[in-house]
Structures are given as C-alpha cells and as structure tokens.
Amino acid sequence: MFLVADNLQITNPVFQKAVSERDPVPIQDCVKRCVAAGAEAIDVNAGPLTKEPEERMAFLVETVQAVTDLPLYLDTTNAAALRMGLSVCRNRSVINGVSLEPKKLEEMLPLVSEFNVDIIGYLLYPTGQVPKTAEERLAVATELFAEIERAGISRERIIVDPVVPPLMWEDGVEQAMAFLETIRTLPDLLGFPVRTIAGLSNLTTGAGPKEKKLLVERTYLPMLASCGLSEVLMNAFHDETVRVARTCKILLNSAIFAWEAIP
C-alpha cells in the first residue's frame, strides 16, 4: 500500500501566504517532514487557483521537486494550471483527478496522453454527486472506464478513487462499508488488477475529538488494506496511522516475516 501525503494543501493559510509571496521555505519544510515521516509521494493540492494559476502552479511544483524526487500528485481543478505543472515537473507525476463531470473529461483526459502520466478517477456522477451504494459506485466505474477507453487511454493508467465518505454524513458508515465492497469487487468486474486509492482524511471530516478521529483512521485503514487498496492519501504527520499503514504493507507482503521490519 503506497503512502501519499496530503499535507500540502493551499487552503492552509501558511501555504497560501507562501505561494502569494513566492516563499519556498514553509512548503519545503512541510515536504521534508512528509518524506521523513515515510511518505512515498506528495499530493500538491493547489485548489482552483483562480489568481495567477500557471505561475503559482509552476512555483509550487518547482519548489517541491527541489527537495524531493518522490512522485508528485498534481491536484487542481484548473486545467491551465495543471498543464503548466505537468510541463515543469521532472518527477513522476499523477493527475488528481478526473470524473464523469463533462468539463473534467474534456479538460483532463487529453493531458494524460500528452504528458504520458497516470490519473486518479473519482467515482462520481456527472453532476459531481457521490454514489451511495457499492452497486452504484461500480456502475459509475464501468461508465468511467468506457470514457477512458473512448479517449484512447489505457485502462492501466487509471487509479480509481471510489470516494471515502465523511462518517458524519447521515449514511456515512453505510457508505464507508460500500467503499470497501467497491474496491474488493472492481478487479472481478473489470477483469484486470485495478489500482485503487482512498482519501483517508475524508473519513473524519467535521467536528469530533482528535483522539477518536485518529482511532477511527487507524481502524479503517487495515480494513482498506485487507480489501486490496493500492494507495492511501493521508496525513503523513499522524505518526501512529502511518505506522499502521507501514505494518499493513509488511503483513500483505509475501516475504519472510521479521519483527525488526515492524516500524
């Protein structure tokens, strides 16, 4: 299970200020801490970037890749900014992401072929709404892969995100279980080893005691791993959750077990 750090988010006022003032230090400090914590990739969440989109995205990507050679997941809804980010990125890059929303299909899919990169595919309706059940998510997956293939893109390029729900939703627990069923079923439905990703931080969105939120993270993560999850997008500074993720990876490996390997 591949660990992608979601700590670098432009909604954080510290990073907003850093980008506005073109100050690389706060961003690079965050990235270095993520790498030290065990992250295997960095999600560069630039948001919509309504102001100076291309310049700001280029600054973000160049700032991050100056201190790490890890893969960068370029996360923005602004297609012009994304193109610029891909253009200047020397590290392996992944587009985060696309869905059945018409504008995203039109703007994001051509970049996959142009830059020879992978892309995260969200299982959302064309309206942007989240399907409620596993059956609905699987139907959306079938439609999304049909769109991908119509665009001439290899299905192996897609990392599927069935969308982890906040538990605080009225049906949050039911949807969290539907997420598990979806990633368990996708390979049989589509007939190949589908890569999947989960935004673990979504699970505990909203108010709640921090320690209980962390406990829920650490409980749900092994459930994801046991269903065959390929990648997890998570807070790299949640030390115990990272330890659980790394331990899950060891237990799912066919290598000979050794206690020394446990973090």
CA 177 from chain centre, in angstroms, equals 19
**Strand-pair partners of 39:** none
Per CATH, is 115-263 categorized as 3.10.20.30? Answer: no
- Give domain limits for the chain: 1-91, 115-263
Contacts 24+ apart (CB under 8 A), 184-187: 184/227, 184/228, 185/134, 185/138, 186/138, 186/141, 186/160, 187/228
pLDDT of the residue at 74:
98
Burial group, residue 237, by CB count within 10 angstroms (0-12, 13-18, 19+): middle
Tokens of 52: 């100076």
| pTM exceeding 0.85 | yes
- Phi, psi (degrees; rounded to nearest 5) at 120: -85, 130
pLDDT of the residue at 41:
98
pLDDT of the residue at 88:
98
Q: Residue with structure tokens 């596993």?
A: 134
Helices (H), 91-238: 102-115, 134-150, 172-190, 210-226
pLDDT of the residue at 49:
86
pLDDT of the residue at 126:
97
* 38 dihedral zone (left: phi>0; alpha: psi -120 to 50; beta): left
Q: Residue with structure tokens 């200020």?
A: 17
pLDDT of the residue at 263:
85
Tens of each residue's pLDDT in the chain, 263 residues: 999 999 999 999 999 999 999 999 999 999 999 999 999 999 999 988 888 999 999 999 999 999 999 999 999 999 999 999 999 999 999 999 999 999 999 999 999 999 999 999 999 999 999 999 999 999 999 999 999 999 999 999 999 999 999 999 999 999 999 999 999 999 999 999 999 999 999 999 998 999 999 999 999 999 999 999 999 999 999 999 999 999 999 998 877 888 888 88
Q: Classify residue 11 by its DSSP letter.
A: T
Helix (H, G, I), strand (E, B) or coil at 75: strand
Helix-strand-coil percent breakdown of the chain, rounded to 5? 50, 15, 35
Burial group, residue 116, by CB count within 10 angstroms (0-12, 13-18, 19+): exposed
Burial group, residue 254, by CB count within 10 angstroms (0-12, 13-18, 19+): exposed
144, 121 contact by CB (below 8 A): yes
pLDDT of the residue at 256:
82
